[in-house]
Amino acid sequence: MPSKPAASATTVASARPAGATPTLYIDGSWAAADGGATFEATSPATGAVIGTLAQGGRVDASRAIEAAARSAPAWGGTSPFERAAALERIAAAIDARRDELAGILTLDQGKPLQAEAYGEVEELVLYFRMAAADATRIEGLIPPSVDPAKRVLVYRVPKGVVGIVTPWNWPYTMPAELIAPALAAGNAVVWNPARFTSWCSVALAEAIVEGGLPAGVFNLVTGPGDEVGDEIVGDPRVTAVGFVGSATTGAKIARRAAGKELLLELGGNGPLVILDDADLEAAVRATITACFLNAGQSCTAGERVLVDRAIHDAYLDLLVETVKREVRLGDPADGATTMGPLNNERTAAKTERQVGEAVERGATLLSGGRRAPELGSPLFFQPTVLDRITESMEIAKEETFGPVVPISAIDGEAEALEVIERSPYGLLTSVFTRDLARGLRFAESARAGWVNINEGTNYWESHLPFGGRAGSQSGLGRVGGRFSIERLTELKTIVVNLA
């Protein structure tokens, strides 16, 4: 949950040298890009330039990989308690920079400061604390041997160098869900963050650096994903890849990184299903969080609402009235704002196109439906409610990633399950019903990696296994506390002959 700024929070001076461009962190030092290329970070709320960053390229990525490969064996050989202490120091550094990090998140990503940015920073602290605890619980096995003269030791060992590529929608927590367990498990890390929120990444890296890791263990290379990210995932010295992003890029990475350990957290199109016996008020509340949190830019967003025909009209009336009353689109730095602008033009254009196509093909627009440039930039998009969505519309088939509630009427849970089954995605879904047995049966049948009963689609906890169902476009593997550690380590068997 979002929190107020801590009154005692202080901003700790950055170890990064003065000047805007040395934003690469390679082998224990801040550096400019090879060749000196830079790019500008802009505020989605105003379009103003907020900083200049180093535009790293393949040479920088390779230098970072080299440093990581050199430092990985020694880091992997440290005591897990030493690694836990380092992760605790990082968590404390983040905690102390709470105000600064939340402010940069609002400026660079666009999410509302009070309603959301502090909440993401709080969760970021949790990721590092949890990884510190998980580090000390990594255990091997002593399985029996068929030969009484043999002893078998199975160690859980680090992968080596983990390449990490992350999106812009949760620029702190998505990287943290991979970086923190990777470090806890004894791996060295090379991270290429999304270009749109690189300023957030540099701020997070400054806190990580303050944790005092050995040189080369943590490396940040800001720069374009199709160069820096591509170089990282393809390099043979990188032994595991953690990626959070779209299904399209995930598929490219899976090919490029073939043979490496892959942890892919990709898109979702999870419906929020409201059955005829649902608590309508709870369902409306959940819809608002599902569709408007982070302006709908979440893999867990309520990308579609399937509501039973028997309660469809009552749900719609209550929803439209609540959206108009409660969702406040505006300046994300204003404490009264509940929804900020979209982060980038690609996302705004996609939302606009999908809404336009749906209306053209017969959807009913009940609220919003257009951009609101009068609020400061063309990236503001009104909270939108659309009814009479059909499965053939792009808005139903694809991830929207905008502040839209696309609604379809259904006849009972069997139809909802069929709709879920037909989707190429399978990240998560939500069901609302007053009958828990009915809800549990639905959850057990729904083809998704995660199902919430009487809770919105955006609810997850960072230590629980999260990821797309097998065979879907939503990804591969599970993140979440010890489940990430399992993926970012491997088993090594040693047999001792006592005879």
Instruction: Give me the residues that bind ligand NAD (CB under 6 A), please.
Output: 165-170, 174, 193-195, 225-226, 229-230, 233, 244-246, 249, 252-253, 265-268, 299, 399, 427, 475
What is the SS3 assignment for 106?
helix
With the C-alpha atoms ordered 293, 299, 303, 306, is the resulting torsion angle positive or negative?
Answer: negative
CB of 412 vs ligand NAD, minimal distance in Å: 29
Nearest to 111 by CA among 98, 120, 100: 120
Closer to ligand NAD at the Cβ: 241 or 409?
241
User: Residue 103 carries which side chain, given as an amino acid letter?
Assistant: G
Strands 24-26 and 29-31: antiparallel
Closest distance to ligand NAD from the beta carbon of 197 (Å): 9
Closest to ligand NAD by CB, 161 vs 278, is 161
Question: Which is catalytic among the residues 100, 116, 200, 299?
Answer: 299
Q: How far apart are CA 386 and CA 365, in angstroms?
A: 5
In three-state secondary structure terms, 218 is: strand
Q: CB nearer to ligand NAD: give 86 or 121.
A: 121
Q: Catalytic: 265?
A: yes
d(CA 347, CA 334): 23
Length of the chain: 499
CA distance 429 to 370: 27
Helix residue ranges per DSSP H, 97-136: 98-108, 118-135
Radius of gyration of the chain (CA): 23
Q: Give the residue from 156, 154, 121, 153 showing the smallest Cα distance to 136.
A: 156
Strands 49-54 and 38-42: antiparallel
> Could you confirm whether 299 is annotated as catalytic?
yes
Of 201, 267, 215, the closest CA to residue 74 belongs to: 215
d(C-alpha 471, C-alpha 241), whole Å: 19
- Decide: helix, strand or coil at residue 103: helix
- Cα torsion 122, 6, 45, 177 to 10°: value is -10
The residue among 242 and 369 lying less far from ligand NAD, judged by its C-beta, is 242
Q: Which is nearer to ligand NAD, 198 or 433 (CB)?
A: 198
Q: Which is nearer to ligand NAD, 84 or 174 (CB)?
A: 174
Nearest distance, CB of residue 8 and ligand NAD, angstroms:
32
Q: Which is nearer to ligand NAD, 194 or 410 (CB)?
A: 194
Nearest alpha carbon to residue 297 among 277, 268, 320, 331: 268
User: Which position among 210, 265, 399, 413 bears the catalytic label?
Assistant: 265
With respect to ligand NAD, which residue has the nearer C-beta, 197 or 382? 197
Structure tokens at 27: 């082998």
Nearest distance, CB of residue 449 and ligand NAD, angstroms: 9
As separate numbers, helices (DSSP H) first and strands (DSSP E) second, the chain gives 15, 19
As a whole number of angstroms, the distance between CA 63 and CA 87 comes to: 24
Give me the residue whose beta carbon is nearest to ligand NAD: 225
Which residues participate in catalysis according to the annotation? 265, 299
